Amino acid sequence: MDFRHTMKGRRALSAVAITTGLLITVAGCGGGGDGKSDKGSSSAPASATSGSSGGGTPSVKAPESAPALAEVKGGDITLTITKAVRDQGDFVTVSGKVANGGGQFWIASNWRGDERELSGNGASLAGAALVDSKGKKKYLVLRDTQGRCLCTKFDGGGVEAGQSADWFAQFPAPPAGSDNVDFQVGSMPPASIQISEGE
């Protein structure tokens, strides 16, 4: 009996020792320390490694944002225009960001315009305009039959301190050839922009 139990114990210990040895061997062959790698065994996709620089660590490049067409400041508020596109249907869509660099909540009330028809739009870009100096014409934000502007309405009435918000506004398109215009809203300085053709 004792001999049989002893043999079983030795077999179990041998199995554990062999398994441990195999695990250590496999872990040691996992590739990593000597800097040499098998060209066919790369697990990273080719697109991820194409942007890497030295070291073999893949780097993912963030998409580059388009440069701003214009940026103006009015107190703590920075208005950035990133796009002004002439779309099919004979209108222009202008878009960008507004950033509140101050320490208090900014209320966009003076951006909604003075017209009675626009008062229902609340804090919005309803009072924005495009000014075509060449054609001597001012284009107001498009609106529907109920006076709602085709523009951004700010949630909560404005922008929190230290935050920014995306915005857009749509206007009737100036005639072809009148691509250099000024964007005006509220008490912000005019921003000179160039309208591009939509795709």
pLDDT in tens, 38-58: 444 444 444 444 444 444 545
Task: Please indicate, yes or no, whether residues 42 and 80 belong to a single structural domain of this protein.
Answer: no
Are 165 and 111 contacting, i.e. CB atoms less than 8 angstroms apart? no
pTM above 0.75, yes or no: no
| Residue of 169 and 147 predicted with greater confidence | 169
In a domain, 61, yes or no: no
Burial of residue 64 (CB within 10 Å: 0-12, 13-18, 19+) is exposed
Q: Indicate which CATH number applies to the domain containing 89.
A: 2.60.40
Residue 64 belongs to a domain:
no
Bridge partner list, 132 = 137
The C-alpha atoms of residue 4 and residue 16 are separated, in whole angstroms, by: 19
Q: Pick the range with the lowest mean pLDDT from 25-34, 68-77, 138-147, 161-170.
A: 25-34
Domain match, 107 and 175 both = yes
Dihedral class, residue 119 (left if φ above 0, else alpha if ψ from -120 to 50, else beta):
alpha
What residues make up the domain containing 102?
Answer: 70-197
